[in-house]
Each structure stands twice: as C-alpha cells, then as structure tokens.
Chain A
Amino acid sequence: MEGEIEASANSGGTSDGSSLNLAKRKIILRDSATLMILALATLILYAITSFLFRSFETRRAELGKKYAARGAVALRAGQPEQAIAALRVAQSYAPDARTNHLLLAEALAEAHHTEEATNYFLSLRELTPADGFINLELARMAREKGETRQAIDYYRAASLGNWQGDGLTRRREVQLELSDYLVQNGQRAAARAELLVSAANAPETGALDTLFGDKLQAANDPNDALTYYQKAVKLDRHDFSALLKGGRLAYAMGDYDTADKLLTLAPREESRASASEPDEAEVTSLLQDSERIQRLTLSKNLPAEDRAEHIRTAAGIAKQRFDECAAKFDAGSPDAGSQDTGSEPSGLQSLKTQWQTAAKLLNRRSSLQNAANQDSMAQLVFDTEIQTSKLCGAPTGDDALLLLLAKSRHGAR
C-alpha cells in the first residue's frame, strides 16, 4: 500500500491538470459511493436491531410482569421467600420497574432480611428521596434495628413525603404510627405534639376523633383525649365506643359528672347492641359508681344542705369501716396488718380519738351546717378510708368509692 501511494505520488508529479482532476473526481465519487453504502448498511442494521430489540423488550416485559405478579401473590400470601425468588427474576427482566423494586424490598423486609432490605430501600431513596412509602419502610427497619433517631427522621420524612393515592390518609397513618413509636420510647410530649398536628389536619369523623382520643390518652394527655371523645360523641351521640371510652376516662380523671353524663347516654342507645358483654357490664358498673359517687361526693360546690347530708351519709359509712377495722385489731386478727398485730396502730388510735370528737358533731344536726365543721368531717371520712385501706385491705362498695374521692382530692391537692 505504501509503495502504491509512493507510486501515485510520483505519477502525480508528472500528470497534467486534467488527469489530476479526473483522478480527484474518481476518488471523490468512489469515497462518496462507499460512504453512501456505509450509511445504507448502518440504516439497515439499525432497522434490524430496532425490530429485534423491540420484540426482545416485549418478551422481557412479559416475563417481568409474569414473575412480578407471581412475587406479589406470594407476598400477599405471606410467603416472602418465594416472593423474593420470583421478584428477583422479575427484576432481571424489568430492571427499571419501580414497583418490582419496592415489592422486592418489601419482601426482603417481610422475610426479616433487614440489612438487605434497608440497603435496597436506601438505593431506591437515592432516586426518589421524597417517596413516602420508601421512607416509611426505612423507618420501620430502623425501628427494627433499634436506631431510634433515624427511625423518627424517616417517619417524619414519610409523613411529609409523596404518596400514591390518598396521601392525606397515608400521611395520617404515618403520624399515628410515629406517635405510637414515640410513646413506646417514652417521648410522650413529642407524641402528643405529633397527634395534635395530625388531628388538626384530619377530617371530623367520630371514628377518627375516638382514635385520636385513644392515642392522646396513650400519650399521657387525658384532657385532650377526653375532648376528642366528647367531639366524637357530639358528632354521633350513638357512638358507644366514644361514650364508653370518654366515660371511663372522665371517671378515672375524677370528673364524675362528665363520666355520668357520657355513661348515662351509653346504655340507652340501641347501638350498644353491637357492644360486647364485658363493655356493657363495665358501662353499667361505671354508671352505677358514678351515680353513687355523685351522691357521696363531699364537694364544696354542693349546696350546704346537700353537702351536710352527703357528709352524714359518708361519715356513717366511714365510721362503720373504721369500727370493723378496729375490731380486727382488737381481736388480734392476723389479717389486720403486719406491723401491729394484736394492738391498734397509732393511725387507728388517732382516728378513734377523732371519731369520738366527731360523734358530737354528727349527733347535733345543726353543727354540720357550719362549713368548717363540714370540712373537718369530710377530712375525717377521707382519712379513715385511706388509713383503713392501708391497714385492713382494699375496701369494697361505698367505702371504695369514698376512697376514690379521697384519693382524687389528695391528687388534686
């Protein structure tokens, strides 16, 4: 070749202008023709490759779908290992199918391949960092691994992230899950804040209000919880669950009036037919207790007459409880307490003295009209119930209710 080029160079030196032009033209023509053929060959090869590629891709997509469906079914059926195998095959045929990636990652998480699933979700998160589902799954896995800080961060990212379908509902679910996790980790204030934000954005339905009531109660916020139960009742006066939970909470909070109001509504409603037997029994019991407590209450808010009457009744009950307890000690009962078996403890002796003094007050009807006397009498009743519960065991009946009042008053103080 080189020799030929040299030869052509030599001949070039001797040829005239026309033969040079002719040679140039021939080479240009030949090169153009070759390039045209090359371009044509490229187009033909492109057409063939495109056709084959399309057919190949279609087949791959079919296989991808087939195995993805198989994996999804296995996952739903609670067979994550089978789902993993099928989804891996699906992924090899449809590597860009995001659903397959998510399903596979989910299957790995289900099968407790936490590390694998975490890495997988992290790589997916690289592509869509604001995806709610991915962040939620990462939060769950961080939670499983005990990485509290990261779990909370992922939960928050999930609650603010993008969701397919009903985003509001999904975000609320994430917030509720986060609040549960926060409660579980003792971060009740953070949980309460999360719940209040979520509740503020939630639509007003009885079920949701009840749910928020439950969660707020778990987050140590009984006041807000009671508010949400009451909201649920306001929306639906037949809501047995809200009535029961609200009544129970109000009773526990010492708000017997509210408890009574809520619980009074509950048994009258037809919807209670759907309630379970234990719930119904509880409502009845709570209602009876609430009503009885309201008859026994020694609140200063009562009219003086009524309060005097209540104190007289309560004093009778407490005195009887005291006598029974003291008698046990007098008899040397082994059940009477561990510290002073056979002899009255000093607490009882003090009460005995007080009751002796109080007997005069009780005998004189007019003396209980005095507010100071009422207070001292009420105090004696409460002290008696508290002391006897310590020395003679847990009371029952009215004594138990009086003890409840005593404790709530003590707590209030």
Chain B
Amino acid sequence: MSQETASTEAPASSPLNSAALFMREERLFLLLSIFIGILSGLLVVSFRMAIDWLQVLLLGAAPAAGQKKLFLVPAAIGLVVSVLTRYVFPGVRGSGVNQTKAALYIHNGYISVRTVIGKFFLSALAIGSGQSLGPEDPSLQIGAGVASLIGRRMKLSRERLRLFAPVGAAAGLAAAFNAPISAILFVIEEVIGKWSAGVLGSIVLAAVSSVVVARWFWGDQPVFRIPSITLRDPRELLAYSVLGVIGGLASLLFAKSLEYLRPLLRRQSQWFQLLQPSLAGLLVGGIGYFGFPEVMGAGYGAIDQAMHAQFAFKMLLALGLLKIVATTLSFSSGTPGGMFAPTLFIGAMLGASVGSYEKILLPHLTGSIGSYALVGMGVLFAAFLRAPLTSVFMVVEVSGNYSIILPVILANTIAYLISRSLQPVPIFELLTHQDGLYLPSMEEEREEHEAHLEDAIQPATIPIVHGAESVWNTMKNVEQQEGAAAATAVLVQCTDGGWYAARREELQKIFAELGSDLSSPEAQIPLETRLGAERTPLIFPDQPLSSVLPYFQRWPVLPVSNRALRGALEGILSLESVLKSYRLQLSGSAIPSASTVGDHSIST
C-alpha cells in the first residue's frame, strides 16, 4: 500500500482558472457523493450476501457443535486467504479502519481497485468460513475504495480526492450497520477527527444514499428488536453502571490480548506467518466444534438470541470470553476482517449475562435481558473502539429504541472512562503503531488543549493614555507616569472605543516634532487624530493564541478587550508573553490563570 501513490490528473491543459475548476469540483463533489453512496450500498449488500452464501456453502445450513467441518473448513480457507493476502492482495490485511485513515493521511486518498476487490473476496471468505471477524470495517474500506476510484476517474484535485475517502467510508459503514447517523459520527470521530462543514454535507449524502440502497434490499427494520424500557426507578441505573464497569474491564482485556498477541505473531518467520490464519481458523473452529459454534463468524444470530434471553448466564459469560479469544486469534493472525461485530458480540454477551445475574439478584428490575445486551454492545463499542458518541447513537439506531438512551449514556461513559484510564492508547492507534505508522490520534486531537489568549494575557503595566487628550498634554502625562521611561510602548484609548498601541519611538518622534511650543496648533491636536485612523485589532480572551501571532509584526503589544464591554481592557499581550505561554504548554507546566490579570482592565 505504501508504494501506491495518487496518480490523478487535472483536466488536460484546461485554460480555465482555478476558481472555475474549484466551482466545478464543488458541484461534482455533492453529486458524486450520492453515486458513492449508491455504489457502496450495492457493494456492501453484495458483500454481506457473499458472506452468508459462503457460510452456507462452507459450514452448512445449520452448523452445530460436533461437526468436523467446523474446524477443518476455517483451517483450509485460512490457508487460502493467507496465500492470497501474501501474494495477490497485500493491502487487505487488518480491519479496514486504519487502512482508510492511512489512505487519507498518507496516500492522498488513494485506495487501489485491487485492494477493494481483495478486501471484498478475502474478508467474505474468512468470515464465511467461520473466522471470528466482522463485515463492518471491511465495508468501510470498500466504501472508501469506491470513493477513491470515482474521484480518480473524475480527475479531481488531490485535496478533493483525499476528502472522498471518509465520504466513501461513511457510506460503506452506514450500509453495513443500516445506521446512517452512527456511520457519520464514527467517520467524524475516528477518521477525520473534526467537524468540517465542507465535507459533512457529502458524508451525509453518501451515508443516506447507501442506507437507502441497503434498506431497499433488507427492509427498514432495525437490526435488533427489543421491548421498550421503562425506567420506573432511577436506582436501576446502578445496575447499568455495573455493566459499564464490567464492560470497561472486558475491553481492557480484549485490547491487552491484541496488544500482546499481534506483534508476537508478526515477529515470527515468514513461513509461520503464512500458516497463522490457518491455525487461527483451526483454533476458532475448535471452539465451535467443542460446543460454542456461536463464536464463529460475525455472530449476529447469537447476538439476537442473547437479546431474547435464549442463553443462560454461564453460557453468556463463556461466549463473551471465548469471543475475545477467538477474535484475538483471528485478527492477530492477519486474516482480513473487522472488529466491530466481535466487539458488539462480546458486549451483548456480557450485557446479557450481567442482566441475567441482576435479574436473579434483583428480580424487581424492569429492564429486560435484551436491554442489558443492547447496552452492553454500546459499552464495549465505547470502551474498546473509543468512539463514545458513535456508541450511543449506534445503540439507538440498531435497536430503533430511544427508551434505552439513559442507561446507554451512563454505562458507555463509565466504560469509556475506565478504558481510557487503564489503556491510554486507543486500539486503532495501537494497531497503527504496531504496523509502524503514526496516524493522527483522533482521541488525542479531540482532547488536545488549544491555548487561548487568556493563557498568555498580562496586566497592562505600560502607560495608558486617552486619545482625546492633546499631544502636549499627553506628552506631559506620559512623562509624569511612573516607569514610563522604561516602557517600550504606550496604549492609547481612542474615543471611538478602539485602541492604539504606539511604540515609544513613534510617540517620541511626534513629541520631537512638537518641540517646546505649547501655543502651536499642532500641540493642541488630539493625539488620536495625530496617530491616524488605524487601530489595534479587536481581540478577546477566548480566541486561540495562534490567531494573534501575525499582528505582532505591526503592533508592539495587543490590548485584549472584554466581550461584554467594548473598550474595557482585560489585559495586554506581547510576543514574549505568547511565546512564554507556548513554552509552558510544551513543558506541561500549568498555564497561568487569567484571574491573575483580570483586574487590570480600565473602564471607558
């Protein structure tokens, strides 16, 4: 993948100017987003169909424990997938999320057709043969690949091409989940990392188009159906909090397993690496053969059964733990396939087991086991994938049940906080580091502290004069002020409410021109008239620190105004104070509080 680079061309030898080309791309961008959505939707429908077909063909219509093919088939198919991944489709390893991010940040939005084809067939083969992986992340990459292909064919600019990858990713994920909001949020939360009005419209269009296509084939019913929940007693939220804690710990176990096993397997010899998907298939199949076939594949059927309380407590717990083992094996072996479905599976099983146990302990609780399973899904999604906002909407969308929102928010937040404190590096970032890539961490970016003016603001210790005063009076006034001689600048408060920051030399030049003749008309001119109409920019304490840096070329200091009272001075900024603030931030020192400088404002 790394050797692949963007190879796009601008419209050949066009005499159109860049503004015209920009307008063309702007218009095409929205239209193409719809095409990307439709094509991604169709491909995702085909992809899911391929998985189901292959499952029936390879494992039979009713796979059950004790059938020998349960461990023979995944092992044999694992070998085929491994060989094809090594020699034909080298870009299809992994889930698809990091590969899409890499396409966005490293390859200028380029995803090859070969990667899309390989991802489609090899992921379908792997999941259909029973490897414990899911179809959502590959769908995301397939969508991004379709977008990349269309962008290249339309000869869009590199910038647009780069933006197309997340648009396609959202479309692919939306179709796979049948949940447009979650897909949009996930792409913003995990792939792009920020809200951008320019790309948001396209992402929404693509996601909606792909979901329309998916629903055209599958219908518009939610993926999971559970009875609505009535929280009669707020104390019931405590039960969901317990689930949040357990989910946070389970996600830690899952992440640690991957953190340990994946690099260990990748350090082995090339031959052994070639055999790893087959061995993983054998082990996962073994789990199925010895009584837990539910663990194999994506496991949506088992999730549905858990939601309808069709498993006993111990079985649920066993399935949750075995799924962690099976997914760690399948994913670490390099078999292409996603982690979304296994994460949901583990969450559903743990949730249902907690629900079952709490039902035994506290039979008066009104929440059904299905509701616990659903909340469990969200919990693992928030804690393991570190997408807290997406996790909440995902649960609501896949169940079509808004009544679950309170328990979901509570449990997800608890799980997310536990996971973040115990596993500081999010799983996607961990995996990219293991692959030797350093893609931007969206969680870090979200929580990055951006320095503001209030962090660098200082008390106004330089002389302050009124612009309405005559030049002569100002001169006398400045001379009388204590410490004025040492000040490099003087702040002039103008009658129009603005400020002027005059350098000492500038004022001295004006005073020098005046001489000692008090009676001259020049001496009686108001200072602000003498200084001209230019004023310092109007800036406020909450603005980003970086936004004022260009002004220091013109002004020695910058007065910081109060938003409620124009002209009231909060303090001043100098280039030194700004740089000092940045230095403090880099060294991790506490940023000085604005409260220490807040008292120095003057009122007009």
- Residues 16-57 of B at the A interface (beta carbon under 8 Å): 16-21, 24, 28, 31-32, 35, 38-39, 42-43, 45-46, 49, 52-53, 56
Residue pair A31, B24 in contact (C-beta under 8 Å): yes
Which residues of the other chain, B, contact A235 by a CB distance below 8 angstroms? none
Closest to B301 in A: A92
Residue pair B308, A116 in contact (C-beta under 8 Å): yes
Known A52-B49, A56-B52, A119-B369: A27·B16 in contact at CB below 8 Å: yes
- Residues 368-398 of B at the A interface (beta carbon under 8 Å): 368-370
Q: Is B291 an interface residue (CB 8 A)?
A: no
- Residues 59-92 of A at the B interface (beta carbon under 8 Å): 59-60, 63, 67, 85-86, 88-89, 92
Whole-angstrom CA separation of A13 from B499 in the bound complex: 42
Closest to B63 in A: A89
Residue pair B39, A53 in contact (C-beta under 8 Å): no
Which residues of the other chain, B, contact A273 by a CB distance below 8 angstroms? none
Residue pair A27, B14 in contact (C-beta under 8 Å): yes
Q: Is B159 an interface residue (CB 8 A)?
A: yes
Whole-angstrom CA separation of A63 from B46 in the bound complex: 20
Residue pair A11, B217 in contact (C-beta under 8 Å): no
Residue pair A42, B39 in contact (C-beta under 8 Å): yes
Pick the contact of B217 from A6, A53, A126 — CB < 8 Å?
A53
- Residues 281-315 of B at the A interface (beta carbon under 8 Å): 301, 304-305, 308-310
Q: Is A9 an interface residue (CB 8 A)?
A: yes
Q: How far does the Cβ of B270 sit from chain A's closest Cβ, in whole Å?
A: 37
Residue pair B310, A8 in contact (C-beta under 8 Å): no
Whole-angstrom CA separation of A119 from B311 in the bound complex: 12
- Residues 129-144 of A at the B interface (beta carbon under 8 Å): none
Q: Is B228 an interface residue (CB 8 A)?
A: yes
Which residues of the other chain, B, contact A11 by a CB distance below 8 angstroms? 13-15
Which residues of the other chain, B, contact A2 by a CB distance below 8 angstroms? 157-159
Which residues of the other chain, B, contact A63 by a CB distance below 8 angstroms? 56, 61
Residue pair A122, B16 in contact (C-beta under 8 Å): no
Whole-angstrom CA separation of A164 from B349 in the bound complex: 36
Known A23-B14, A23-B15: A38·B35 in contact at CB below 8 Å: yes
Q: Is B221 an interface residue (CB 8 A)?
A: yes
Q: Is A115 an interface residue (CB 8 A)?
A: yes
Q: How far does the Cβ of B360 sit from chain A's closest Cβ, in whole Å?
A: 10
Whole-angstrom CA separation of A108 from B141 in the bound complex: 41
Q: Is B226 an interface residue (CB 8 A)?
A: yes
Pick the contact of B309 from A26, A34, A93, A120 — CB < 8 Å?
A120
Closest to A59 in B: B56
Whole-angstrom CA separation of A218 from B153 in the bound complex: 83
Which residues of the other chain, B, contact A52 by a CB distance below 8 angstroms? 46, 49
Q: Is A123 an interface residue (CB 8 A)?
A: yes
Q: Is B479 an interface residue (CB 8 A)?
A: no
Residue pair B10, A8 in contact (C-beta under 8 Å): yes
Q: Is B515 an interface residue (CB 8 A)?
A: no
Q: Is B193 an interface residue (CB 8 A)?
A: no
Q: Is A19 an interface residue (CB 8 A)?
A: yes
Residue pair B221, A96 in contact (C-beta under 8 Å): yes
Whole-angstrom CA separation of A96 from B62 in the bound complex: 18
The proximity string for A residues 80-114 relative to B, scoring 1 for CB distances below 8 Å and 0 otherwise, is 00000110110011011000000000001000010
Pick the contact of B16 from A20, A53, A113, A126 — CB < 8 Å?
A20
Q: How far does the Cβ of A50 sit from chain B's closest Cβ, in whole Å?
A: 8
Q: Is B150 an interface residue (CB 8 A)?
A: yes
Which residues of the other chain, A, contact B219 by a CB distance below 8 angstroms? 96
Whole-angstrom CA separation of A38 from B38 in the bound complex: 11
Pick the contact of A123 from B46, B157, B308 — CB < 8 Å?
B308
Q: Is B9 an interface residue (CB 8 A)?
A: yes
Residue pair A30, B18 in contact (C-beta under 8 Å): no
Residue pair A19, B15 in contact (C-beta under 8 Å): yes
Q: How far does the Cβ of A111 sit from chain B's closest Cβ, in whole Å?
A: 11
Closest to B225 in A: A123
Which residues of the other chain, A, contact B317 by a CB distance below 8 angstroms? none
Known A34-B153, A63-B61: A8·B11 in contact at CB below 8 Å: yes
Whole-angstrom CA separation of A95 from B368 in the bound complex: 21
Residue pair A89, B28 in contact (C-beta under 8 Å): no
Known A31-B28, A49-B217: A6·B158 in contact at CB below 8 Å: no
Pick the contact of A4 from B6, B9, B226, B308 — CB < 8 Å?
B9
Q: Is A1 an interface residue (CB 8 A)?
A: yes
Residue pair A115, B309 in contact (C-beta under 8 Å): yes
Closest to A119 in B: B309
Most buried by B among A1, A26, A60: A1
Which residues of the other chain, A, contact B514 by a CB distance below 8 angstroms? none
Known A2-B157, A13-B17: A123·B227 in contact at CB below 8 Å: yes
Residue pair B42, A46 in contact (C-beta under 8 Å): yes
Q: How far does the Cβ of A34 sit from chain B's closest Cβ, in whole Å?
A: 6
Residue pair B11, A30 in contact (C-beta under 8 Å): yes
Residue pair A1, B8 in contact (C-beta under 8 Å): yes
Pick the contact of B225 from A9, A30, A115, A126 — CB < 8 Å?
A126
- Residues 192-216 of A at the B interface (beta carbon under 8 Å): none
The interface on chain B, measured as residues whose beta carbon lies within 8 A of the other chain's beta carbons, has a size of 56
The proximity string for B residues 126-149 relative to A, scoring 1 for CB distances below 8 Å and 0 otherwise, is 000000000000000000000000
Residue pair B17, A12 in contact (C-beta under 8 Å): yes
Q: How far does the Cβ of A31 sit from chain B's closest Cβ, in whole Å?
A: 7
Pick the contact of B227 from A6, A56, A126 — CB < 8 Å?
A126
- Residues 154-173 of B at the A interface (beta carbon under 8 Å): 154, 157-159, 161
Which residues of the other chain, B, contact A127 by a CB distance below 8 angstroms? 225
Known A1-B9, A108-B310, A119-B369: A8·B17 in contact at CB below 8 Å: yes
Closest to A35 in B: B31
Closest to A12 in B: B17
Whole-angstrom CA separation of A12 from B53 in the bound complex: 55
Residue pair A119, B43 in contact (C-beta under 8 Å): no
Q: Is A41 an interface residue (CB 8 A)?
A: yes
Whole-angstrom CA separation of A24 from B19 in the bound complex: 13
Whole-angstrom CA separation of A120 from B9 in the bound complex: 58
Q: Is B181 an interface residue (CB 8 A)?
A: no
Q: How far does the Cβ of A23 sit from chain B's closest Cβ, in whole Å?
A: 5
The proximity string for A residues 248-280 relative to B, scoring 1 for CB distances below 8 Å and 0 otherwise, is 000000000000000000000000000000000
Q: How far does the Cβ of B7 sit from chain A's closest Cβ, in whole Å?
A: 10
Which residues of the other chain, B, contact A108 by a CB distance below 8 angstroms? 310
Q: Is A5 an interface residue (CB 8 A)?
A: yes
Whole-angstrom CA separation of A19 from B433 in the bound complex: 52
Which residues of the other chain, A, contact B1 by a CB distance below 8 angstroms? none
Whole-angstrom CA separation of A15 from B52 in the bound complex: 58
Q: Is A45 an interface residue (CB 8 A)?
A: yes
Residue pair B11, A126 in contact (C-beta under 8 Å): no
Which residues of the other chain, B, contact A8 by a CB distance below 8 angstroms? 10-11, 13-18, 21
Q: How far does the Cβ of A84 sit from chain B's closest Cβ, in whole Å?
A: 8
Residue pair B62, A67 in contact (C-beta under 8 Å): yes
Q: How far does the Cβ of A238 sit from chain B's closest Cβ, in whole Å?
A: 52
Pick the contact of B370 from A12, A67, A96, A119 — CB < 8 Å?
A119
Known A2-B159, A45-B39: A24·B310 in contact at CB below 8 Å: no
Which residues of the other chain, B, contact A12 by a CB distance below 8 angstroms? 14-18, 20
Which residues of the other chain, B, contact A31 by a CB distance below 8 angstroms? 24, 28, 154
Which residues of the other chain, B, contact A9 by a CB distance below 8 angstroms? 16-19, 21
Closest to A125 in B: B227
Which residues of the other chain, B, contact A30 by a CB distance below 8 angstroms? 11
- Residues 301-336 of B at the A interface (beta carbon under 8 Å): 301, 304-305, 308-310
Interface residues of A (CB under 8 A from B): 1-2, 4-6, 8-9, 11-13, 15, 19-20, 23-24, 26-27, 30-31, 34-35, 38-39, 41-42, 45-46, 48-49, 52-53, 56, 59-60, 63, 67, 85-86, 88-89, 92-93, 95-96, 108, 113, 115-116, 118-120, 122-123, 125-127
What are 12 contact pairs spanning A and B, CB under 8 A? A1-B6, A1-B157, A8-B13, A8-B15, A12-B16, A27-B24, A35-B31, A45-B43, A88-B301, A95-B304, A116-B310, A119-B308
The 3 closest A-B CB pairs, nearest first, are: A12-B17, A15-B15, A4-B10
12 new A-B contacts at CB < 8 Å, known A1-B158, A20-B15, A45-B43: A1-B8, A1-B10, A9-B16, A9-B19, A12-B15, A12-B18, A13-B17, A31-B28, A92-B301, A95-B304, A122-B368, A123-B308
